[in-house]
Amino acid sequence: MSGKVLVLHGPNLNLLGTREPDIYGHETLADIDNGLREHALLAGWELSSRQSNHEGELIDAIHAARVDGTVAIIINPAAFTHTSVAILDALNAFDGSVIEVHLSNVHKRESFRHHSYVSLRADGVIAGLGSQGYHAALEALIKKG
Ligand code: DQA
């Protein structure tokens, strides 16, 4: 079985590697995306990724995924996790699988990070495993087929 997966990264994740490395690690976003693309390719899957600091651009990418054959979205909405009904609504209009990933364990951090709008839609949520969380999400999708 093979499929097309979209990985979406929200605001400030373009700074990975230099942004609070004690919390988010030393890998850059390019390191993470390259590793994920290789992982997908080995399984015969197609993976594309997109980062944006703008809520509307993430919503537009979700809309595009509704009609371009994408079977699953792995999303780290970053701070929009805790604020964006609009991203939740867009994901509700997407028919495939949705997995929410956070590099840090948001439940161990400030209380405003404990609530996620996106979790109301996500089929699975992974937090606190660093970049391995994205790979765990991808592997779950591949195994599910
Ligand atoms: C994050 C956690 C969010 O609370 C934060 O705003 C981020 C990154 C994470 O990956 O741990 O930007 O989504």
Centroid of ligand 1 to alpha carbon of 1 (angstroms) = 32
Mean of pLDDT values over 78-90: 98
Asked if residue 131 has its Cβ within 6 Å of ligand 1, the reply is no
At residue 145, the pLDDT reads 87
Active site residue 24: yes
Q: Cα–Cα distance between 8 and 67 in angstroms, integer?
A: 16
Tell me the per-residue pLDDT of 91-105, one tens digit each, with 9 for 90 and over: 999 999 999 999 999
- For residue 46, is pLDDT > 70? yes
CA atoms within 13 A on the CB side of 21: 5
Centroid of ligand 1 to alpha carbon of 127 (angstroms) = 9
Mean of pLDDT values over 114-133: 98
pTM, to two decimals: 0.97
Mean of pLDDT values over 40-49: 97
- For residue 2, is pLDDT > 80? no
Q: Cα–Cα distance between 30 and 45 in angstroms, integer?
A: 19
For the record, the structure tokens of 43 come out as: 């399984």
At residue 69, the pLDDT reads 97
- Quick check: 128 and 85 in contact, CB under 8 A? no
Selecting among 9, 24, 117, 134, the annotated active-site residue is: 24
- For residue 3, is pLDDT > 80? yes
Pairing of strands 46-51, 72-76: unpaired
Number of H helices, E strands in the chain: 5, 5
